[in-house]
Homo-oligomer: A and B are copies of this chain.
C-alpha cells in the first residue's frame, strides 16, 4: 500500500500515480491533495493526524516549497512504515508517532517526545530529474515505488501487514544512505498555567474549525472558558450549542478547537494559523 499526500490540486497527483503504477501494483490511497500550499507545518500536522490510522505502508508526502533546489530527498523508516518526501521536517512528527510515541498530547500538551527509538532517516540519492518543478513525479513517486517493491519482496505474501523487519529493506537499497543531518519540525508547546493557557492555532480545517495546540484535558469538565477574552461555552461536540453559536470543544486530534455549530470558527473567532490563543478559566 502507498498513500499519497500533496498540495498539488489536480491533475498533477494522477501523474504520480501513473509513475507508480508503471513500476508496481501497490494499492494507492489518497490522503489529501489540497493541503495549504507550501505550508510544511500544516502538512506535518495532517500527516500526523491521518497516517497513524493506517496499517504499515509506504507514505509518499510532497509539500515542497524547496522544489528545484538541492534539498535532499528522504526515506524515513518509522516502526513498520516508511515515509518518502523532501527534507523539510514535514515527515518527522508523524514518524515519531508511527514509531510508538503517544497517540494523544500528554498532560502538558507535548507530543512527539518519547518512544522515538524506532525512527531511522535515510537520504535518497537521485539523478537530475526531467523537470525542476515536479519532483513529485520525477523523484519521489519513483522512489516510493522502489521502496514499496523492496519491502513487498521481503514480506511473506500470506502476511497482511508488514513488520518493522520487512521495512528494514529500505536500508539495503542502492543509493540509500543514513542521513547525517536533516530538517526537524516540532509543534510549539502551549504554556499551561493554573488559571490560563497561552497557546496558538496549528491549523484551520475545511469546516473552518480552529485547531489549537492546547491539550483537550485543560477544558474537559468545564462549562465555559474565555477565549482571547470572550466567554464561550465548552461542550462535547458542535451539537451542544444552537446552530450559529460558538463553542470550545475537544477535537478528534485531542486538542482544544474553537468552532461554530454549522458555521465557521475561523471567522467567528477571527483566528487563523499561527495566531495566539489565550484561554482563561474563572
Interface residues, chain A, with chain B CB atoms under 8 Å away: 1, 3, 5, 8-12, 14-15, 17-19, 21-22, 25, 28-35, 37-38, 46, 49-55, 65-69, 130-134, 137-138, 160, 205-207, 236-240, 249-252, 257, 262
Residues on the B chain within 8 Å of A54, using CB? 17-18, 21-22
Closest to A18 in B: B53
Q: In the complex, are the beta carbons of A250 and B132 less than 8 A apart?
A: yes
Task: Compute how far the CA of A68 lies from the CA of B240 in the bound complex, rounded to whole angstroms.
Answer: 8
Q: In the complex, are the beta carbons of B133 and A249 less than 8 A apart?
A: yes
Q: In the complex, are the beta carbons of B239 and A67 less than 8 A apart?
A: yes
Give the distance to chain B from A82, nearest Cβ to Cβ, in Å. Answer: 16
30 contacts across the A-B interface (CB closer than 8 A)? A3-B14, A5-B11, A8-B206, A9-B205, A9-B207, A10-B34, A12-B206, A14-B29, A14-B50, A15-B50, A15-B53, A17-B53, A18-B51, A18-B54, A19-B53, A21-B29, A21-B55, A22-B54, A65-B262, A66-B239, A67-B237, A68-B236, A68-B238, A68-B239, A130-B252, A133-B238, A133-B251, A133-B252, A134-B251, A134-B252
Residues on the B chain within 8 Å of A19, using CB? 53
Give the distance to chain B from A106, nearest Cβ to Cβ, in Å. Answer: 16
Residues on the B chain within 8 Å of A35, using CB? 10-11
Residues on the B chain within 8 Å of A12, using CB? 205-206
Q: In the complex, are the beta carbons of B69 and A22 less than 8 A apart?
A: no
Residues on the B chain within 8 Å of A237, using CB? 67-69, 132-133
Task: Compute how far the CA of A110 lies from the CA of B130 in the bound complex, rounded to whole angstroms.
Answer: 19
Give the distance to chain B from A270, nearest Cβ to Cβ, in Å. Answer: 21
Task: Compute how far the CA of A236 lies from the CA of B18 in the bound complex, rounded to whole angstroms.
Answer: 24
